[in-house]
Amino acid sequence: MTEPLALLRTGAVTCVGLDAPSTFAALRTRLNHFYDLPFVDTRGEPITAGLVTLGHDADRAPAIDKHAAMLARAIGECLDGLALPDTRDIPLLLCVAEVTRPGRIAALDAGLRPALERALERRFSPQSRVYAYGQAGAAIALNDAFALAGSHPFVLIAGVDSYASAGTLLALHGAGRVLSSVNTHGFIPGEAACAVLVARPGQVSPAPRWSKRQRARSAAPGATLFCTGLGIAREVAVIGSAAPNRAIALSDAIRTALGGLPPDSGAVGLRISGQSSEDFYAKEFALAAARTNLSATPLWMLADSLGETGAAAGLLALAWAYAAAHKGYAASFNILCLMAGDEGERSAALLSFGEFSA
């Protein structure tokens, strides 16, 4: 990268809030909205999940329609009130579940964007793309956004995912990955959507939106959150493989991202992790932290309040950093967001809060 990428606006739909301010206020206080599903484990005990409740008929609609409804709401919030140019000049980088995900929606890649554009009554640039990499898709899309921002006024990165479908629950519970009365080392299924609007640092920045209060003041007026470092690597030791879990790829991604620390900006003072509560990923992230001397750095985990939200988790980590930086409760102006996908992609994004100086 030759210059950082500015994060201008966010939007979110989760089980704890149907917009970004509500979601990140809940995350800040470690609230959750988990409840029991009709799906039961082998002991007859219900599986716990964090589901989004949109109301009306949306919750009973086909899965792809609910995905589109969640995504439309997050993108609508992200773009709300902005005097944007025609969105047909804005690329939409759409992050979705891995192709190998059990119970994945049929024709997800081809069907989601048309359903979304119908819901929004907008069209996006022909350079829009789909990133089927699960949680790590956010960083891969962010990497492409650096190039796209050079020829487009804005780039919109959005993600949506759900682990609550019957096919996914059945397969992953059978594989011993879902938290249940017979498996205390699994993850809580969740679902969410998130959108982040990015642009070049020199682009005219819209007023940030991180609170429902009309006159909320930023921790640093005029400051913006920038992505200054990005590391992406591929791990051989994934769940189900015979290779030992040594966190090699995640450690490499972190070291690469940390190379983007601005001069005299201080060290990273906060980590925001998209990792689930699954034992495999907990060990991997702990090993990577030890290898990169970040073990003592404060850690915030999305899964504590939302469960495993897959392709939305990486963007939610970026959006939480945005809210925390602008509202002034982040422990540092340098924040490291960590993501990992089931197919082996590992990524780290370094975010720095301040005023841009060429």
- The domain ranges of the chain are 5-199, 224-354
pLDDT (0 to 100) of residue 218: 58
Token pair in block for residue 18: 């149907």
Res 301: pLDDT:
95
Q: How far apart are CA 45 and CA 328, in angstroms?
A: 42
Q: What is the CA radius of gyration of the chain?
A: 19
pTM: 0.94
CATH 3.40.47.10 fits 5-199, yes or no: yes
Please tell me the predicted confidence (pLDDT) of residue 213.
Answer: 65
pLDDT at 14 over 60: yes
pLDDT of 61 > 80? The answer is no
- Say whether 267 sits in a helix, a strand or coil: coil
Q: What is the mean pLDDT of residues 1-13?
A: 89
138 contacts 97 by C-beta, under 8 angstroms? no
Give Cα separations from 316 to 15, 102, 303, 357 (angstroms).
13, 23, 11, 27
What pLDDT, in 10s, does the model give residues 215-241?
455 566 667 899 999 999 999 999 988
pLDDT at res. 3: 85
In the 3-class helix/strand/coil scheme, how is 200-264 assigned residue by residue?
Answer: CCCCCCCCCCCCCCCCCCCCCCCCEEEEEEEEEEECCCCCCCCCCCCCHHHHHHHHHHHCCCCCC
Residue 295 has pLDDT above 80, yes or no: yes
Q: 131 in helix, strand or coil?
A: strand
Please compute the mean of the pLDDT values over residues 178-207 and round it to a whole number.
Answer: 89
DSSP state of 182: T
Enumerate residues 6+ apart whose C-beta is below 8 A from 322.
7, 10, 196, 208, 210, 225
The CATH architecture assigned to 224-354 reads: 3-Layer(aba) Sandwich (3.40)
The band of 343, judged by pLDDT with boundaries at 50, 70 and 90, is very high
pLDDT value at 294 more than 60: yes
